[in-house]
Amino acid sequence: MSTAVPVAAWPIAEEQKGLWYLQQAHPQLGAYNLLFSCTVEKTGEAWPSTEFVQRMINDYPLLRTAFVSQPGGAVEQQVVAHLRPRVVHHDARDLTDDSLRERARQDSRAPLDLNEPGAWRIHLYRRTPDCYLLVVVMHHIAFDFWSMGLLLKDAMTRWQGQPSTLPAEQANGYEQHARQPLDPQRHQQLTRYWTASLLDAPALHSLPLDHPRPGTQAFQGASWSFRLDPATSAGIQALGRSLHATPYMVMLAIYTGFLGYWSSSSDVVVSTPVANRTARRLRNTLGQFVNTLCLRTHPAPDVTFATLVGDIKTTVTEAIRHQDLPFYRLVEALAPKRDSSYQAIAQLGFSWEHLPVLEDFAAFYGQEASSVGPTAGNVRLSPFPVPQQEGQLDLLLEMGGQTQGGYDATLKYNPHLFDLATVRQMAEHLAAMAARMVANPALPLAELAQANAHQQARWQALGRGQPLILGDRTLLHFIGQHARARANSPAVADAHHTYGYQQLWQRSQQWAQALHSRGVVKGARVGFKLERCADLVPLIIGIWRLGACYVPLDPHFPAERLAYIAQDAQLTLVVTEPELDDFPSAIPRLLTQEVGETGPIALPEPAQADDTAYILYTSGSTGQPKGVEVSHLALLNFMLALHDELAFDSQTRLLAVTTPSFDISLLELFLPLVAGGLVQVADFASTRDGARLAGLIEQHAINTLQATPATWQMLLEQTAPGALETLTALCGGDALPQALADRLLARTAAVWNLYGPTETTIWSSLARLQCGVPVSLGKPIANTEFIVLDEQQRLVPPGMLGELWIGGAGLAKGYLHRPELTRERFCVLPRLGTQRWYRTGDQVRWNSRGELEHHGRLDFQVKLRGYRIELEEVQARLLALHGVQQAVAAVVDHELGSALVAYLVTEAGAEPAIGWLKSQLKAQLPAYMVPTEFVFLARLPLTPNNKVDRQRLPAPGPRATRVDITAPRDDLEGQLLEIFQRTLRAEALCIHDDFFDMGGHSLLAVDIISQANRTLGTSLSVADLLGTPTVAGLGDRVRSGTANASGTLITLRPGHGRPVWLFHPIGGNVLSYRELGRHLSGNRPVIAVQSPGLENPEAVEVTVEAMATRYVEDIRQVQPEGPYLVGGWCFGGAIAYEVASQLQAMGQGLEGVFLIDTRAPIAQNVPSDADDSTLLSWFARDLATPHGVQWDLDPSLLRSRASEDAFAYVLTQAKQRGLLGEHADDEQLARYFETYLANGIALQLYAPPATTLPLLLVLARDEPADYGPLLGWQHLALGPLTAVPVAGDHNTVMYRPQVAAVAELINHHFIRTVELEPQP
Amino acid sequence: MIRAQYSRLFNLSRSTLFDYLRNPLNDRHWQSSCAQVELLDGSIEPGSRYAIVFSFLGRRMNFECQITALEPPARYAFKVLQGPFLYEGEYGLEAVPEGTRLSWQFDVEPGRFFGILPVSLLKKVLISQVEKDLSRLATLLQDDAALSKEWIHE
């Protein structure tokens, strides 16, 4: 920090406060550095003097300014008398233009220390002795671009040896501006306008992201520049003229129309900067005046563009009329829930940089460097733009300049969220939309968002699989070929039998003959209910050889389901074994033992391409399964496509593990046969046992395995590290978590991710996974087409989310006996021709690599408290945590609302603590995506197809036992942990567990600290526990010597500005305010005053007046001047009343006084028998409250005891009731009670006069004790008294969930409303 | 035994203050915990007795007290003859340029009368009560003085 004595100082202006706060919160922030850059070339003999720079510094105090925080939270702009320019020299002789630009971009982002005078610096990059790149960097807190323009003009004038034309008086008028407070009435009016305008606006935009949002905003950015063509640019101007709107308004409408389309949202908030120099006298004033306005727009699909322009015009006009509410104040007023992962209120921005004052330098802020520029003496300046101010928002569109008739545009984006490829797509689509919008303003946005035919054709081409000629063949053709060519090669085997290819064919003949003799003809439907065995394959082939289709009936499925399927499918016959035969007698059956050798019999015509190959039943939304009919053509297409992709050959040895009732079983049973390989059929027991599967893999030299993620998980857990290294892993049927994919990649030879609904035949796309590349669905297989459509069934551009529709040869015929459902899901899309498409219900998008990404089921997509939650993303983060084996995230509704719940299966021997899990997730995810509840399961419930069965996830219940996963790291932590465990009576605690989250409360807090200090010789205080309520945190404090945050003032929440002051209740400590402190909105500090008697019995006061006098002294150390906002719960309210009275008597201003269920200190409210026994009975009651127990101890019972016994009696009773631990320190509790007594006496003796203080009285609606509707305050309140009831009794109002309502009242009354500015 | 002491400056003459303090009947006007007073001997002089009832910290206490010293305008003392516990008190009045400095001393042996209330707290409470009561006394006597002056003027 500078030691120069300031020659002038004034408080920072409202427009500077937000920037100050941001820079303090993020000291490395460079996103708000403004730049001017240019090439400086000497054209004459010598360089001209640069003394003018020093003269400018001398003339303009703002160039000599530091920003220094003061006690109490105020910040001053301090001007020093002298300052030399800070110039950083660089050698850039070997750098190309691009390299230099990037270097300058990085250097200019280095943060400026606002505590040091001169929030600016100069970089000089020497390219040649006569040529430099000059970059001037200024912090936005000190200057805006208008000021930059004034300074540049002045600099050019001076550099040419001319006197300055910038009047010093006007230039240096910022102090006057900063000192001028906003008129309170105007402030109120502005606040009302903006809060109404943004009421219930989305807190976060819905643009699809390329990467998960990090838990903390990094303020890093990148840029992509493009240009609208001259015709579109001219169209914008012309349309503006016709609609009486400015080009800014028209372009803003285009942008919001684009954003609405791209994010599938019709409620979009965009921030935009305004110069905010509404007074003429400010036109030549240096300083930071820019304000940010948040414009709420409604680009609904059915709104015409002309209407949108009109709406935008109205919005902008009104916003300009209300532009003088500083953004910082807007945030305070709206008090949005803060999340460190994104900017409050608006994360998307639009900027129209067209300042007249910068007209002469417009080229320097263009997109391209140039060698043409102005001269100053024998120096020529030419444009060399360096990207600047990147990272302020998620996405910002900057426009305003024009080049050769076209509007220049730059999209500044957050590279942690968006890839460059996506941003380029956005730019392309935006430009295309702009052209359509200005050409057809009368069309609705939905139509205008549609790409032209050429673009649509390109997008559609992305999803087109390779063509493959199928002819009229079926699988039978290929199997029959191998039966001739590879007669003796093994084809299908199980534990007992192996069929060679010829045997396989012959066996299928036997089956066909047996079936035929039982009446199976072409088109018949044959069911089979058999245990897994090799004979399944020839049976199926036999069915096909008759031209019939099969319907699998898994013997391990519920009988009811099988009976339904048999009836619905109208089976001609069922093939089964005697032990499994429980079908109705009316259904003909063929038992396996009845199939044997027969003589040659001519079979009818085998299956043709259009015939049905199988009917598989899938779950239906009505609860009854529905049968999907798939043709031989579709099946053959699948087989041949995957044969090519997976390169199966005669060496392929695949272990079949999937139930035949799941269509992916067909890959296992037949794809190797297409290639001439081997199918090894695993028995049922092995399919459920990873170790047995591993045994089979080894025994039969299996090199290919297909399984769901759940089965792969099981296999990885139960096999030795090298057991799978020769395996090609095929994974599908459920979303493949990245963590599992990474493990598979590490342990197998190759990993493929397969995707496809049953309705499009087994799999429709596949991706060969690579290390370091995120899991995707890959690309469609041959003769298959993927398209991504919006809700209006229009093609969406790559990068945008939409629903996947699948077309091509793989489409099933439809749903058996469900024509309406078939028509609904298998549609013709007239815009795309006459082919059928299947609507998947999956949300996807094309990524920058041309692969399809899955973004959840549309019917599983969840919104929680207005935020769109990607459950897969939460799951992925959970899976990446140490000790977590499987994870599922779900939103569960219960009586207190919806909650995001994590279901976990942990690794053997490792059960991570909930506190640790949360802390890890909070570091990676936005707060709204961190589960609030955790359920530990032994295993995840699975469907018969081995997919996670979300319907059977249990409701969250009491927490499972936690085993300490983070052991104490040293003896100190070990002993602290023991104390925690003993005091909380919780064995399974971790050093990261939050004391209060684990059930700790005020008395236990006092107890823990006392034990720690006594046992360990530490000097911890309750304030330390409040600040770091974990073993790890307390340990750190002790080690670093920062323990003993003592004194009466306890910061519950740090912040900026005037604190909210809370005063202790009757117990003397302030732990009961912890939840309130969390729920108060805004970023003001919340400081609670605890009784000094807790630490020093001698310091206890026995009158409210004396307490208040002391506390006033204490709080004025932090906040020397008002207005003050004070309040308290119970007795704390009485203290607040007295504090406020004393402050008022001193002439200090007051924002207000809030009283949380505080009885008025009047004689009528003092019980006649309010003696020490009464106070002791209150003490007993308060011991029980944190445990959720009501303990009403009759004071007369205590009076009947000898006084020295009464307190001991209470302690004994409390221990017996489990309210205190056996180890509780009685002496320490006696001291605690002494403070309690003192406060109780003070309350009884306190009889203040009535005052005109403005009072907010929060009434606990469910409190049974009756002190009247206003608790007696009507006798003391001569000024405004607002009384509002909230749910809860006297104690529960301070805990969740009731405390939220209390906080909201305070927020509404004081924290969001106009502050009473002291009159000058 | 608890000894509590306190002193306060009054903008009044010693005689005015003394004349008011010496009369136990006035206690109920300026002592907030005093509920009732009765002169038992009908006089106010050394040795005279009076009955006084206090209501304090939720307890009602009946005492029979005696005036032990009456030295106008400098000293007034009293003690308990009968009651739930014993106490002795004394007021010293000193003339100072600003008026009168009143010193109050109170010795009490409360025993277990106030139950679990620790001695240290009780002492603080006594002093704080006296502080408030003497403040009220000052207000009372200032008002009286003002009235007297007006009366004189009339």
DSSP calls for A913-944 = -HHHHHHHHHTTS-GGGS-SEEEE-SS--B-T
Backbone angles phi, psi at A490, to 5 degrees: -65, 135
Q: What average pLDDT does range A1085-1095 have in this prediction?
A: 89
CA dist., res. A720 & res. A723, Å (int): 5
Q: Does B125 touch chain A (CB under 8 A)?
A: yes
**Which residues of A fall within a CB distance of 8 Å from B114?**
1171-1172
pLDDT tens by residue, A413-422: 999 999 998 9
Instruction: Answer yes or no: do B112 and A1171 touch at CB < 8 A.
Output: no
Task: Return mean pLDDT, chain A.
Answer: 87
Q: Name the nearest CA neighbour of A59 among A151, A142, A130, A121.
A: A151
Instruction: Answer yes or no: do B114 and A1234 touch at CB < 8 A.
Output: no
Least confident of A75-89, A459-473, A1071-1085: A1071-1085
Residue A1318: the pLDDT is 28
**Which residues of B fall within a CB distance of 8 Å from A1206?**
115-116
Residue A338: the pLDDT is 67
Residue of A nearest to B126 (CA): A1102
Of the pLDDT bands very low, low, confident and very high (cuts 50, 70, 90), residue B150 is very low
Give the number of other CB atoms < 10 A from CB of residue A1306. 22
Q: Name the nearest CA neighbour of A861 among A317, A351, A206, A390.
A: A206
Residue A342 has pLDDT above 80, yes or no: yes
Instruction: Answer yes or no: do B125 and A1245 touch at CB < 8 A.
Output: yes
**3-class secondary-structure state, position B91:** strand
Instruction: Answer yes or no: do B112 and A1204 touch at CB < 8 A.
Output: yes
Backbone angles phi, psi at A208, to 5 degrees: -70, 140
Of the pLDDT bands very low, low, confident and very high (cuts 50, 70, 90), residue A862 is low
Give the number of other CB atoms < 10 A from CB of residue A709. 22
**Which residues of B fall within a CB distance of 8 Å from A1172?**
57-58, 114-117
Q: What average pLDDT does range A86-96 have in this prediction?
A: 91
Residue of A nearest to B56 (CA): A1171
Instruction: Answer yes or no: do A1241 and B121 touch at CB < 8 A.
Output: yes
Query: Is omega for the bond preceding A71 within 30 degrees of 0, making it cis?
Result: no
**Which residues of A fall within a CB distance of 8 Å from B125?**
1102, 1241, 1245
Residue of B nearest to A1242 (CA): B125
Q: Name the nearest CA neighbour of A1008 among A992, A995, A990.
A: A995
Distance (Å) from the alpha carbon of B41 to chain A's nearest alpha carbon: 32
Residue A1187: the pLDDT is 63
Q: Name the nearest CA neighbour of A1227 among A914, A1047, A1011.
A: A1011
CA dist., res. A598 & res. A760, Å (int): 38
Residue A574: the pLDDT is 95
Distance (Å) from the alpha carbon of B42 to chain A's nearest alpha carbon: 32
- Sign for the CA dihedral angle at A1113, A1115, A1117, A1121 comes to negative
Residue A1061: the pLDDT is 97
Q: What token pair was written down for A666?
A: 């067909």
Instruction: Answer yes or no: do A1103 and B112 touch at CB < 8 A.
Output: no
Residue A75 has pLDDT above 90, yes or no: no
Of the pLDDT bands very low, low, confident and very high (cuts 50, 70, 90), residue A735 is confident
Residue A1248 has pLDDT above 50, yes or no: yes
Q: In this predicted model, which residue has the larger pLDDT, A267 or A181?
A: A267
Distance (Å) from the alpha carbon of A1170 to chain B's nearest alpha carbon: 5
Of the pLDDT bands very low, low, confident and very high (cuts 50, 70, 90), residue A1119 is very high
Residue of B nearest to A1103 (CA): B128
Of the pLDDT bands very low, low, confident and very high (cuts 50, 70, 90), residue A1319 is very low
Q: A1106-1131 b/e with 16+ CB inside 10 Å = b?
A: bbbebbbebbbebbeebbbbbbbbbb
Residue A1232: the pLDDT is 82
Residue A489: the pLDDT is 95
CA dist., res. A562 & res. A540, Å (int): 19
Instruction: Answer yes or no: do B59 and A1207 touch at CB < 8 A.
Output: no
Residue A988 has pLDDT above 80, yes or no: no
With tokens 């304030």, the residue in question is: A1023
- Sign for the CA dihedral angle at A536, A541, A546, A551 comes to positive
Instruction: Answer yes or no: do B115 and A1234 touch at CB < 8 A.
Output: no
Residue A1304: the pLDDT is 86
Q: What average pLDDT does range B98-115 have in this prediction?
A: 88
Q: Out of B115, B129, B132, whose CB is closest to A1172?
A: B115
Residues in CB range of A566: below 8 A, 6 or more apart = A527, A551, A553, A574, A583, A584, A587
Amino acid at position B60, single letter: R
Least confident of A232-241, A334-343, A346-355, B81-90: A334-343
Least confident of A215-224, A738-747, A1209-1218: A1209-1218
Backbone angles phi, psi at A892, to 5 degrees: -115, 135
Q: Does B116 touch chain A (CB under 8 A)?
A: yes
Distance (Å) from the alpha carbon of A1021 to chain B's nearest alpha carbon: 24
Residue B146: the pLDDT is 55
Q: In this predicted model, which residue has the larger pLDDT, B151 or A445?
A: A445
Instruction: Determine what percent of chain A is predicted with pLDDT higher than 70.
Output: 92
Distance (Å) from the alpha carbon of B30 to chain A's nearest alpha carbon: 15
**Which residues of A fall within a CB distance of 8 Å from B57?**
1170-1172, 1241, 1244
Q: Does B115 touch chain A (CB under 8 A)?
A: yes
Residue A129 has pLDDT above 80, yes or no: yes
**Which residues of A fall within a CB distance of 8 Å from B120?**
1097-1098
Q: What token pair was written down for A146?
A: 């208008």
Q: Does B111 touch chain A (CB under 8 A)?
A: no
Asked whether A1018 and A1035 are in contact (CB, 8 A), the reply is no
Q: What token pair was written down for A593?
A: 């033992």
Q: What is the 3-state secondary structure (H, E, C) of A561-616?
A: HHHHHHHHHCCCEEEECHHHCCCCCCCCEEEHHHCCCCCCCCCCCCCCCCCEEEEE
Q: What token pair was written down for A1254?
A: 């403005």
CA dist., res. A730 & res. A668, Å (int): 10
Residue A966: the pLDDT is 59
Instruction: Determine what percent of chain A is predicted with pLDDT higher than 90.
Output: 47
CA dist., res. A1177 & res. A1217, Å (int): 15
Instruction: Answer yes or no: do B115 and A1167 touch at CB < 8 A.
Output: no
Q: For B2, what's the count of Cα atoms within 13 Å in the CB-facing half-sphere?
A: 23
Of the pLDDT bands very low, low, confident and very high (cuts 50, 70, 90), residue A1269 is confident
- Adjacency order of strands within the sheet including A897-906: A884-894, A897-906, A933-936
Residue A70 has pLDDT above 50, yes or no: yes
Q: In this predicted model, which residue has the larger pLDDT, A1193 or A111?
A: A111
CA dist., res. A111 & res. A1036, Å (int): 30
Residue A621: the pLDDT is 46
Asked whether A1267 and A1161 are in contact (CB, 8 A), the reply is no
Q: Name the nearest CA neighbour of A544 among A605, A621, A488, A629.
A: A605
**3-class secondary-structure state, position A947:** coil
Of the pLDDT bands very low, low, confident and very high (cuts 50, 70, 90), residue A181 is confident
Q: Name the nearest CA neighbour of A162 among A381, A8, A376, A423.
A: A376
Instruction: Answer yes or no: do B58 and A1176 touch at CB < 8 A.
Output: no
Q: For B128, what's the count of Cα atoms within 13 Å in the CB-facing half-sphere?
A: 23
Give the number of other CB atoms < 10 A from CB of residue A25. 12
Residue A84 has pLDDT above 80, yes or no: yes
Instruction: Answer yes or no: do B114 and A1103 touch at CB < 8 A.
Output: no
CA dist., res. A1095 & res. B53, Å (int): 37
pLDDT tens by residue, A434-457: 999 999 999 999 889 888 788 888
Residue A283 has pLDDT above 70, yes or no: yes
Q: Out of B115, B120, B128, whose CB is closest to A1171?
A: B115
Residue A667 has pLDDT above 80, yes or no: yes
Distance (Å) from the alpha carbon of A1199 to chain B's nearest alpha carbon: 8
Give the number of other CB atoms < 10 A from CB of residue A23. 23
Q: Does B117 touch chain A (CB under 8 A)?
A: yes
Helix-then-strand count for chain A, H and E: 39, 48
Residue A1245 has pLDDT above 70, yes or no: yes
CA dist., res. A317 & res. A323, Å (int): 10
Q: What average pLDDT does range A229-254 have in this prediction?
A: 95
Q: Out of A1098, A1170, A1172, whose CB is closest to B117?
A: A1172
